[in-house]
A and B are shown apart, each in its own frame.
Chain A
Amino acid sequence: MADRLLEYTGTVSERDLQAQVLDDMDIERERGITIKSHAIQMDYVHNDEKFVLNLIDTPGHVDFSYEVSRSIAACEGALLIVDATQGIQAQTISNLYLAIENDLEIIPVLNKMDLDNAMPDEVKDQIVDLIGCDYEDIIEASGKTGYGVDVILDSIIHKVPYPKGDTNEPLQALIFDSVFNSFRGIIAYFRIFNGEIKKGDKVKFVNTEREYEANEIGVLRLDQESRDILRTGDVGYIISGIKTSKEVKVGDTITHLNNPCISAISGFEDVKPMVFAGIYPTDPDDYEELRASIEKLQLNDASLTYEPESSMALGFGFRCGFLGLLHMEIIQERLDREFNMNVITTMPNVSYNVVTNKNEIIEVHNPSGLPEHKYIDHIEEPYIKSQIITQSDFIGPIIKLCLDKRGELKNQVYLSTSRVELTVDMPLGEIVFDFYDKLKSISKGYASFDYHISGYKPAKLIKLDILLNGESVDALSTLIHFDNAYDFGKRICSKLKELIPRQQYDIAIQAAIGAKIIARETIKAVRKDVTAKCYGGDITRKRKLLEKQKKGKKRMRQVGNVEVPQQAFLVVLKLND
């Protein structure tokens, strides 16, 4: 739909138009999803009057809801785009509530009307129920054919209010995003709420208290276009020779040095990552380079957190916090693609609160950071309140899945005769691993899922260790609910057996709780590794094969006397493969 808006307003020439114009990361195009918010300015002439519209295209996946919330803070209105073939999704609702909380004007749009299986009447009813608009206010459109795009634009002009604020007031601009450019340093994107900014102005970032000169300012068209002045309501970028990522905090306010605004704009709450995993360089020598890469990535993705940690098995690395598993996967992939950093990611886990005998609360992001057993009074794990919207046919199996995941059904509401919304409280740790995939397959894709953290609850958690030839591998330890430990330990062992190649010696893989072994597998030693036939035509092929093997070995990590390949450290994510 964003593509159509850009096309219709002539922001992107036909020549430049490719699918997903704004999704400029390769991963986004390949996966067909939006990960980052993208801001772009469009001109639109309506009844001979020229309007400037600033569009921010946002991701849909719950892992990236932080991107949505930041974008919403910079806007006056929101297009609520609902797929006419799917109806309202769980994440539609949470994003809508965010928009409503921020007082945005909501314009409901029914998308994919070009498809035969569109159900306009039914989905319009859902929308009316949800936001209380009039049936007629819902715009029918198609992101494929461009149908309805003119109506959307006109509706934006009629309904979305002009930016409030006063150009004569002191400058007050909200930083809602930042990117790293290897030539220009750090570029911050902002929205001006009051005042104006000129090229060359001396400015201050209120929170960090740092001062800069605005070397270049401009607007975000398809490319950055520099301008001499930007005024209240404008969305733009600033380049001011910022070198390190720490200096720019998304949510910070930009103001003038000599005529500062009285108060900062209330920015965003720091996102709290909920999933943690170790990230280690495959080659231990790349530690510093990894630090620099993560730092740069963080600039572009404020929701990523990191702190140094070390592992007996893997050496020096970072414990990173992610919004969810998809986020973690994407970070790993971006490190590889954008920074050429090959990394090992360890077993992910959620963040736990350990309550000690002395009634102190320690936040634990890593099973190996757990205090000794005798000091622990109990452990609390994060809980979520989740919404699942699905067709009534699937409720039975979905409820069963949630109960298997230690969930508690809180509410069940029929949105229509065939659509149900379930509200379930679940431990976050349970949905981190294979919940989505299972939900998707049980519901044949007809279930949407959304959640927010609701608090912490005590749980019977134990630390599950994995041993290779008797040696515990810290990077493979997990905290897990006691009831699941046996089954989980067994599955991990048997998956590791697949992931670790046969070696010179037998390898014992064991899962243990304390000193007690609860599961075991053995990888038999290689007894024969020789090509039978090696003639003129075989030499190149054989040499290449063995060279590749040698490379593969180099990417492995030695744990005791066992060579462990990179992907084995992510064994939990592969349990269902």
Chain B
Amino acid sequence: MAGIYLHIPFCKQKCHYCNFYTTGSLKYRDDFVKAIKLEIQSRKDYLGSNKITTIYFGGGTPSMLSVEELNEILETIYGVYDVEPNSEITLESNPDDIDFEYLADLKKHSPINRLSIGIQSFFDDDLKYLHRVHDSKRAKKCIENTLKVGFENLTIDLIYGIPTLTNDKWTENLKLFFDYNIPHLSSYSLTVEPKTALDVLIRKQRFANIDEKQSIKHFNTLIEQTDKNSYVNYEISNFAKKGFYSKHNSIYWLGGHYIGFGPSAHSYNGLSRQWNVMNMKKYCNSDSSNLIKEKEVLSESQMYNEYILTSLRTSWGCDLEHIYNVFGDGYSEHFHKTIIPFIESGKILKRGSVYTLTNAGKLFADGIASTLFFDI
């Protein structure tokens, strides 16, 4: 069981908040498709004999590639890897790219069976604040088209905590999502990442800053409303109906193995993590000697820390038994000792050997994880 991630870095314009590796130029489009196919072939041994169960086109904006280009890449993958028949194959997309034709073509001619659409909000002023390409009309239209074409396994992204997003508007965004009966939602609290346009605009006081209280309020509404509509909050920012959990992303959260292709893509094989160069030109001209930007071999405590960091965010939680079996009693004792105050303060719920965040605890996931970390 392993996943494949493909980073398609093209974007029509850069959203103010985004710190992903993207490029606005299509100059290297053809070179890129060639290069990523080459990388797929040249790194075929990385995951050993693991079967592939998920493929994820992420970005950037993979929907800027044509269906043919996506298929070419998929064919290369199928040629090299052992891909399970019912694998989850996701495409991240932006509303402005996916018109009815594109969607129909995709549905008919490619094995892609899951679509993720970056809606962010159904209101124009929020989309402006975020500096998105699409508008609210387009957002609604593309969801309708997707449903019409018959993509059942659909997810959208919504961002909350945007200064222009009032509580009422946020409730309205959620209502639209429920009304479309979409089975999966990724919903992120707007984060001001360092060195992004948003960071600069806020510092220069040209843009309103994020109000923490408002973000918390939106988060609480989100938890409450999704629960009411029978979605499971299976990861802090992810909500799904039964059977629609993202299999690919679950690999990240459950410590599974994955290989990432494309500039800036990360790979993890249970022992080490490495990531590719973050530059289109360098990537296209790279060979096995200069593709990797950095590699880290994880120490035991780093593996433990990652287990804490990721598993705590999920509904499956941290399992003390797992810690004992994998890391030994030094770690399980440390865990036991450090988690107690959080149980007492109502941030952690204990069920047998499994510890999960309560709704109150979800707001403090980072601080809790860092306290639980093991340092040598």
The winner among A540, A549, A551 for most chain B CB atoms within 10 A is A540
Given A536-B266, A543-B305, A547-B375, A527 contacting B212 (CB threshold 8 A): yes
Q: With the chains together, A535 CA to B54 CA distance in Å? A: 14
* Of A539, A549, A553, the contact of B273 (CB 8 Å cutoff): A539
Contacts of B309 in A (CB 8 A): 534, 539, 542-543, 546
B-facing residues in A514-566 (Cβ within 8 Å)? 526-537, 539-540, 542-543, 546-547, 549-551, 553-554
The residue on A at minimum CB distance from B302 is A543
Pair A537/B260 contact, Cβ less than 8 Å: yes
The residue on B at minimum CB distance from A524 is B212
Q: What 1/0 mask marks residues of chain B from 249 to 269 whose CB sits below 8 Å from any chain A CB?
A: 100110000101000111010
Pair A547/B370 contact, Cβ less than 8 Å: yes
What is the number of contacts between chain A and chain B, taking CB atoms within 8 Å?
96
Q: With the chains together, A553 CA to B309 CA distance in Å? A: 18
B207 within 8 A of A: no
Pair B366/A540 contact, Cβ less than 8 Å: no
Q: With the chains together, A336 CA to B244 CA distance in Å? A: 55
Measured between C-beta atoms, what is the minimum distance from A65 to chain B in Å?
A: 45
Pair B367/A529 contact, Cβ less than 8 Å: yes
Q: With the chains together, A527 CA to B347 CA distance in Å? A: 13
Given A536-B252, A546-B373, A550-B371, A530 contacting B305 (CB threshold 8 A): no
Given A536-B5, A546-B369, A551 contacting B375 (CB threshold 8 A): yes
Q: Determine the main DSSP class of B at the interface with A.
A: mixed
Pair B363/A530 contact, Cβ less than 8 Å: yes
Number of interface residues of B (CB under 8 A): 44
Q: With the chains together, A553 CA to B371 CA distance in Å? A: 9
Measured between C-beta atoms, what is the minimum distance from B292 to chain A in Å?
A: 13
Measured between C-beta atoms, what is the minimum distance from A541 to chain B in Å?
A: 10
Q: What 1/0 mask marks residues of chain A from 444 to 455 whose CB sits below 8 Å from any chain B CB?
A: 000000000000
Pair A531/B306 contact, Cβ less than 8 Å: no
Q: With the chains together, A531 CA to B215 CA distance in Å? A: 13
Contacts of B5 in A (CB 8 A): 536
Pair B373/A528 contact, Cβ less than 8 Å: no
Contacts of B191 in A (CB 8 A): 531-533
Pair A540/B273 contact, Cβ less than 8 Å: yes
* Of A526, A537, A543, the contact of B275 (CB 8 Å cutoff): A537
Measured between C-beta atoms, what is the minimum distance from B245 to chain A in Å?
A: 15
B23 within 8 A of A: no
Contacts of B364 in A (CB 8 A): 526, 528-530
Q: With the chains together, A261 CA to B46 CA distance in Å? A: 81
Given A531-B365, A536-B5, A550 contacting B375 (CB threshold 8 A): yes
Q: What 1/0 mask marks residues of chain A from 100 to 128 whose CB sits below 8 Å from any chain B CB?
A: 00000000000000000000000000000
Contacts of A549 in B (CB 8 A): 370
Contacts of A533 in B (CB 8 A): 188, 191, 237
Pair B310/A536 contact, Cβ less than 8 Å: no
Pair B313/A534 contact, Cβ less than 8 Å: yes
Pair B370/A546 contact, Cβ less than 8 Å: yes
Number of interface residues of A (CB under 8 A): 23
Pair B212/A528 contact, Cβ less than 8 Å: yes
Contacts of A532 in B (CB 8 A): 188-191, 236-237
Contacts of B236 in A (CB 8 A): 530, 532, 534
B114 within 8 A of A: no
B213 within 8 A of A: yes
The residue on A at minimum CB distance from B251 is A536
Measured between C-beta atoms, what is the minimum distance from B182 to chain A in Å?
A: 19
Q: With the chains together, A241 CA to B306 CA distance in Å? A: 53
Q: With the chains together, A333 CA to B258 CA distance in Å? A: 45
B340 within 8 A of A: no
B184 within 8 A of A: no
Given A533-B188, A539-B310, A546 contacting B366 (CB threshold 8 A): yes
Pair B268/A536 contact, Cβ less than 8 Å: yes
Pair A539/B296 contact, Cβ less than 8 Å: no
Q: With the chains together, A527 CA to B220 CA distance in Å? A: 13
Measured between C-beta atoms, what is the minimum distance from A537 to chain B in Å?
A: 4
Contacts of B14 in A (CB 8 A): none
Contacts of B216 in A (CB 8 A): 527-528
The residue on B at minimum CB distance from A539 is B306
Contacts of A542 in B (CB 8 A): 309, 366
Measured between C-beta atoms, what is the minimum distance from B326 to chain A in Å?
A: 17
Q: With the chains together, A534 CA to B265 CA distance in Å? A: 14
Q: What 1/0 mask marks residues of chain B from 201 to 219 whose CB sits below 8 Å from any chain A CB?
A: 0000000000011011001
Q: With the chains together, A527 CA to B217 CA distance in Å? A: 11
Pair B275/A534 contact, Cβ less than 8 Å: no
The residue on A at minimum CB distance from B160 is A532
Given A536-B252, A543-B309, A530 contacting B265 (CB threshold 8 A): no
* Of A534, A537, A547, A551, the contact of B305 (CB 8 Å cutoff): A547
Q: With the chains together, A549 CA to B252 CA distance in Å? A: 23
The residue on A at minimum CB distance from B235 is A534
9 closest A-B pairs by beta carbon, nearest first, are A546-B370, A532-B188, A529-B367, A530-B365, A537-B266, A532-B189, A536-B266, A529-B366, A528-B363
A to B CB contacts below 8 Å, 5 in the list: A526-B364, A534-B236, A535-B249, A537-B264, A539-B268
- Residues in A lying within 8 Å of B, measured CB to CB: 526-537, 539-540, 542-543, 546-547, 549-551, 553-554
Q: A529-B365, A529-B367, A530-B236 are in contact. List 18 more A-B contacts (CB 8 A).
A: A527-B216, A527-B363, A528-B189, A528-B363, A530-B362, A530-B366, A534-B252, A536-B258, A537-B266, A540-B273, A540-B296, A542-B366, A546-B305, A546-B366, A547-B305, A550-B373, A550-B375, A553-B370
